[in-house]
């Protein structure tokens, strides 16, 4: 109560009001996929503290790497050389596809956050191509900075007066997209061409695509969409920008990066969140020739390449590989998806269940035939989940999706407990 009173008094409304739960929650401790509140009650974190916790809360290897670095030198601004970010840049580029001839050279620009990396990617694409117009998907979310908001299509997520030169294309939602259920990629690719012709100068700087949309309610890009979008955008002079802030670092189970599922090689890749398991860091990884012209103008991120965050990031890459967390995401995510599908058989309020790896969602509807989004029931289930010890998030443009993006160390034993908790929560919502 004391914390809530202090927060209410001293936070601005924009932060104060961002509390999805009925009662305030204070978490005091985390260990791997679990959180403990101030009363010592344990929760399973299916939100991954907003998708930041890739390898586990307070993972000992990540904590040690960051503590050792912080003790030696907490911050070293970009204008000085430091071995840790230099190593980390090398390691990040090594995760990128090399192309059919093995000759693609990648380079890294570290930022403090995902939205700063989005800003930078947008500036890079405009600078390199000389074109201003960008395409973005309607239900995409790319962050809170002005440039990132300018590529935000949902009005409720965007403040007035944001910069322009952005045209929106329909998201290829296979459940409730504008071309109907399971329409595949083709009509949405035609839509990209139409929008380029009708809503831009015909020459574009690029398109931003989340390989699996996060806040949009776990919208997977259907097969052929990412590669088809890249083809069409390149034909109009633009670049393909992959936003891997949520879908990267093995979360989708099949690959390190979400775009790999479609064989597309982006021109620019944006990453953050899971990159450093909760330490503030973002990065743009781009093809060398695309990043090079940025040097003509001043572009400096004070904390970008901070060695403490980068030390955490290096540890994340090691743990991901050593503990085979991508494979774990595939196996455990597959088992969880199956349990969610079983729940959908039992509860008509579940309109759709979707996702891959540990990036899953349940969409709630009041009428299955009409697919009427049901934010109210979503809210009831969400609260009941909390009572059952599960932390999820409400997402999607209608806030009718329960999103699950836990730390990648979630176990098969957790899946049983999560499915039982969800079952109890849905049962409660029915009554
Ligand atoms: N892109 C995506 C897909 C995101 O989900 C987010 C944040 N939720 C961002 C970009 C922006 O990242 P940040 O909040 O670190 O600025």
Residue closest to 63 by CA, chosen among 248, 283, 312, 276 = 312
Tokens 């970010």, located at residue? 85
Q: Residues 6 or more apart from 375 whose CB is under 8 A from it?
A: 364, 394, 398, 399, 400
Taking the centre of ligand 1 as the mean of its atom positions, its distance from the CA of residue 338, in whole angstroms, is: 28
Q: Is the predicted pLDDT of residue 251 greater than 90, yes or no?
A: yes
Count of residues in the chain = 431
- Give the pLDDT confidence score for residue 25 in this predicted structure: 87
When pLDDT is cut at 50, 70 and 90, the band that residue 15 belongs to is confident
Q: What share of the chain is helix, strand, coil (3-state, %, to 5)?
A: 40, 20, 40
Confidence (pLDDT) at 23 = 82
Is the model's pLDDT at 431 over the cut of 80?
no
- Statement: residue 415 has pLDDT above 80: yes
Half-sphere exposure of 236 (CA within 13 A, CB side): 29
Is 80 exceeded by the pLDDT of residue 20? no
Categorize the per-residue pLDDT at 24 as very low, low, confident or very high, splitting at 50, 70 and 90.
Answer: confident
Nearest CA to ligand 1 atom 8: 143
Is residue 354 classed exposed, middle or buried when 0-12, 13-18 and 19+ CB atoms within 10 A define those classes? buried
- State pLDDT tens for residues 145-187: 999 999 999 988 999 988 899 999 999 999 999 999 999 999 9
For 257-312, the pLDDT digits (tens) are: 999 999 999 999 999 999 999 999 999 999 999 999 988 888 889 999 999 999 99
Asked if residue 174 has its Cβ within 6 Å of ligand 1, the reply is: no
- pTM of the entire predicted model: 0.97
Say which DSSP state 134 is in.
E
| Phi, psi of 128, deg, nearest 5 | -70, -45
Distance CA 130, CA 128 (A): 6
Q: Which residue has the tokens 């021109």?
A: 267
pLDDT at 82: 97
Report the pLDDT value the prediction gives residue 153, as an integer from 0 to 100: 92
Question: In ligand 1, which atom is closest to the CA atom of 215?
Answer: 5
Domains of the chain listed by start with CATH number: 2-55+324-430 (3.90.1150.10), 65-322 (3.40.640.10)
Q: Average pLDDT, stretch 388-404? A: 96
- What is residue 315's predicted lDDT score, i.e. its pLDDT? 98
DSSP track, 344-387: HHH-TTEEEEEEETTEEEEEEEEETTTTEE-HHHHHHHHHHHHH
Task: For residue 429, name the pLDDT band (cuts at 50, 70, 90).
Answer: confident
| Band of pLDDT at residue 106, cut at 50, 70 and 90 | very high
Contacts of 214 (CB under 8 A, 6+ apart): 51, 141, 245, 246, 247, 359, 395, 403, 405
CB distance 76 to ligand 1 below 6 Å: no
Tell me the sheet residues that pair with 359.
Answer: 356
pLDDT (0 to 100) of residue 218:
98
For 25-70, how does the pLDDT look when each residue is reduced to its tens digit (9 = 90+)?
899 999 999 999 999 999 999 999 999 999 999 999 999 999 999 9
Predicted local distance difference test score (pLDDT) of residue 208: 98
Burial classification of residue 418, based on how many CB atoms lie within 10 Å of its CB (0-12 exposed, 13-18 middle, 19 or more buried)? buried
Cβ of 172 below 6 Å from ligand 1: no
Ligand 1 neighbourhood includes 114 CB (under 6 angstroms): yes
What does the pLDDT read at residue 256? 98
| Mean pLDDT rounded to a whole number for the chain | 96
Residue identifier of the C-alpha nearest atom 13 of ligand 1: 114
d(CA 297, CA 260): 32
Q: How far apart are CA 25 and CA 3, in angstroms?
A: 10
CA angle 104–110–114, rounded 5-degree value: 100
At 300, phi and psi to the nearest 5?
-135, 125
Residue with CA at minimum distance from ligand 1 atom 10: 142
Q: Is the pLDDT of residue 13 over 80?
A: yes
Average pLDDT on 337-353 reads: 97
Calculate what percentage of the chain has a pLDDT beyond 70: 100
Compute, in angstroms, the gap from residue 117 CA to the centroid of ligand 1. Answer: 9
C-alpha span between 87 and 405 (Å, rounded) = 28
Please state whether beta strands 268-271 and 239-243 pair in parallel, antiparallel, or not at all (unpaired).
parallel
Q: Specify the pLDDT at position 63.
A: 98
């Amino acid at each position: 109560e004391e914390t809530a009173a202090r927060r209410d008094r001293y936070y601005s409304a924009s932060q104060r009001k961002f509390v999805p739960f009925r009662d305030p929650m204070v978490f005091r401790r985390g260990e791997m996929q679990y959180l403990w509140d101030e009363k010592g009650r344990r929760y399973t974190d299916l939100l991954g503290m907003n998708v930041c916790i890739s390898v586990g809360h307070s993972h000992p290897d990540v904590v040690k790497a960051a503590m050792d670095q912080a003790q030696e030198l907490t911050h070293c601004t970009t204008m000085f050389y430091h071995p840790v970010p230099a190593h980390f840049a090398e390691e990040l580029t090594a995760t990128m596809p090399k192309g059919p001839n093995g000759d693609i050279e990648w380079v890294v620009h570290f930022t403090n956050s995902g939205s700063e990396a989005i800003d930078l990617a947008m500036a890079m694409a405009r600078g390199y191509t000389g074109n201003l117009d960008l395409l973005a998907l309607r239900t995409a979310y790319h962050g809170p900075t002005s440039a990132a908001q300018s590529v935000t299509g949902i009005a409720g997520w965007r403040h007035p007066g944001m910069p322009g030169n952005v045209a929106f294309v329909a998201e290829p939602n296979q459940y409730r997209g504008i071309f109907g259920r399971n329409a595949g990629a083709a009509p949405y690719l035609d839509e990209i061409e139409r929008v380029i012709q009708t809503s831009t100068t015909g020459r574009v700087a690029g398109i931003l695509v989340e390989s699996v949309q996060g806040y949009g309610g776990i919208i997977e890009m259907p097969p052929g969409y990412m590669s088809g979008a890249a083809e069409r955008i390149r034909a109009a002079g633009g670049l393909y920008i992959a936003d891997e802030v949520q879908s990267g670092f093995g979360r989708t189970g099949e690959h390190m990066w979400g775009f790999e599922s479609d064989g597309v090689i982006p021109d620019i890749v944006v990453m953050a969140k899971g990159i450093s398991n909760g330490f503030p860091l973002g990065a743009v990884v781009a093809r060398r020739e695309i990043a090079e012209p940025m040097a003509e103008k001043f572009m400096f991120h004070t904390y970008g390449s901070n060695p403490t965050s980068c030390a955490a990031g290096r540890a994340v890459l090691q743990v991901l590989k050593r503990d085979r967390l991508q494979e774990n995401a595939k196996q455990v995510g597959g088992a969880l998806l199956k349990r969610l599908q079983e729940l959908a058989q039992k509860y008509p309020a579940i309109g759709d269940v979707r996702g891959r790896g540990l990036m899953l969602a349940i969409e709630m509807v009041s009428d299955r035939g009409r697919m009427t989004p049901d934010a109210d029931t979503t809210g009831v289930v969400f609260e009941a989940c909390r009572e059952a010890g599960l932390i999820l998030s409400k997402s999607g443009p209608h806030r009718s999706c329960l999103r699950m993006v836990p730390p990648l160390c979630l176990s098969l034993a957790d899946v049983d407990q999560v499915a039982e908790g969800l079952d109890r929560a849905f049962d409660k919502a029915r009554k």
